[in-house]
Amino acid sequence: MVEYEKWFREGSEYSIYDAEKKLIRCEICERRCVLAPGFKGICGNHMNIDGKLYNIAYGLLSALEVRPIEIKPLFHYYPNSLALTFSGWGCNFRCPWCQNYHLSWRKPEPRLSIHLEPSDLVREALRLGVHGLCASFNEPTIHYEYLLDVGWMAKDKLYLTMVTNGYMTVKALKKLLEAGYTGYSIDIKGCPETYRRFLGADPYIVFRNARMIIDHGGHVEMIYLVVTKANDWDECIDWVIDKHLEYLGEDAPLHINRYYPANKYYESSTSYEKLFKAYREAVKAGIKYVYLGNILEQEYQDTKCPRCGRRLIVRRSYRVVEWRLTRDNRCPYCGYRINIYGEYVEDRDKT
């Protein structure tokens, strides 16, 4: 007999798979787990209880902290702002190199969590005077019901953003967009072979969702962690760049990040040769805003004008230290319009 805790919440994103056997199919993410009574899905956060889908970790937060938006990374979204960042436990992917495995590879841990109702979270963000909320550290889709409730409560007061693997279903993503989530930092884990070998998943779904966000007026930045022997060969890099341009266009920023051994993956860190090759290829192919992350050379985090090449935004240690755009986000030298969503926060220390 399952004990109902205060963090159990009935969900609605599912269908009946076999009424007689009380089997249901969760439709929050494209894993579409079929669950028998008493069983949880891959994410460990959704469970079939007597033929109904329950989120069994609603509002159980593993971390809560104020962070700069640049750390997500989101460079073109409310630049220089601060977001109250929250996370839960678990993930619908199992990346062997996960850099946050201490949260993502765990089942919900009530005794190690802070339990916050959406109203408490929003109140805390307003009290701290931050500019927005960000679901991050582990995959946000796993606390989908909580995200929706937070979104509807906060959307008129705060921006709403997430760092995600982009694997939600179309109808779940549509509801997240309606609930006010406008900023998405999306991991692209590599090419189809990477997804097949390591994740049992489909990268076309990720690009489909990223495109859908842009079509609904949201903002997307793609993150490509170049992992040694998992997604770092030439054809794989070319595939990611090619699909980025095909689905998202040249204005969507691409962050190419260096991997370091973590969790269950022990290959050496990404070589500089591979990393810079990927960077050069992306620039050459026509992506206008390409950045390099997880390296010491911070100048690769600056934004240059795609037309005249002048340095327009200088970032150091996840902070904008120089902002040279006009009020309508144009290059002051040649007038080129830079892709920026939301307002630049000039002095975040006043927050």
Interacting residue ranges for ligand SF4, rule: CB under 6 A: 26, 28-29, 31-33, 41-43, 46, 92, 141-142
In the complex, minimum distance from the CB of residue 288 to ligand SF4, in angstroms, rounded to a whole number: 34
In the complex, minimum distance from the CB of residue 94 to ligand SF4, in angstroms, rounded to a whole number: 11
- Angstrom distance (rounded) from CA 232 to CA 72: 22
Q: Which residue is nearest to ligand SF4 (CB)?
A: 41
Q: Which amino acid is at 100?
A: N
- Using DSSP, how many helices (H) and how many strands (E) does the chain show? 8, 19
Residues whose CB falls within 8 Å of the CB of residue 318, separated by 6 or more in sequence, listed in order: 68, 70, 71
In the complex, minimum distance from the CB of residue 169 to ligand SF4, in angstroms, rounded to a whole number: 8
145 vs 232 by CB, closer to ligand SF4: 145
In the complex, minimum distance from the CB of residue 227 to ligand SF4, in angstroms, rounded to a whole number: 22
142 vs 222 by CB, closer to ligand SF4: 142
Check residue 292 and give left, alpha or beta (phi > 0: left; psi -120 to 50: alpha). Answer: beta
- Angstrom distance (rounded) from CA 209 to CA 143: 18
42 vs 71 by CB, closer to ligand SF4: 42
DSSP 102: H
Check residue 335 and give left, alpha or beta (phi > 0: left; psi -120 to 50: alpha). Answer: left
Distance separating the N- and C-terminal Cα atoms of the chain: 48
The answer to whether the beta carbons of residues 121 and 128 sit under 8 Å apart is no
32 vs 348 by CB, closer to ligand SF4: 32
Across 249-262, b (16+ Cβ under 10 Å) vs e yields eeebbbbbbbbeeb
In the complex, minimum distance from the CB of residue 283 to ligand SF4, in angstroms, rounded to a whole number: 36
29 vs 210 by CB, closer to ligand SF4: 29
Residues whose CB falls within 8 Å of the CB of residue 297, separated by 6 or more in sequence, listed in order: none
**Integer CA distances (angstroms), 122 to 81, 112, 127, in order:** 17, 21, 9
In the complex, minimum distance from the CB of residue 26 to ligand SF4, in angstroms, rounded to a whole number: 3
In the complex, minimum distance from the CB of residue 167 to ligand SF4, in angstroms, rounded to a whole number: 8
**Pair of tokens at residue 306:** 């795609």
46 vs 131 by CB, closer to ligand SF4: 46
Residues whose CB falls within 8 Å of the CB of residue 1, separated by 6 or more in sequence, listed in order: none
**Pair of tokens at residue 342:** 């939301």
85 vs 141 by CB, closer to ligand SF4: 141
In the complex, minimum distance from the CB of residue 44 to ligand SF4, in angstroms, rounded to a whole number: 8
14 vs 75 by CB, closer to ligand SF4: 14
In the complex, minimum distance from the CB of residue 253 to ligand SF4, in angstroms, rounded to a whole number: 27
Strand bridging mode 63-68 / 60-61: unpaired
Considering only the C-alpha atoms of the chain, give the largest distance between any 2 of them, rounded to a whole number of Å. Answer: 69
186 vs 345 by CB, closer to ligand SF4: 186
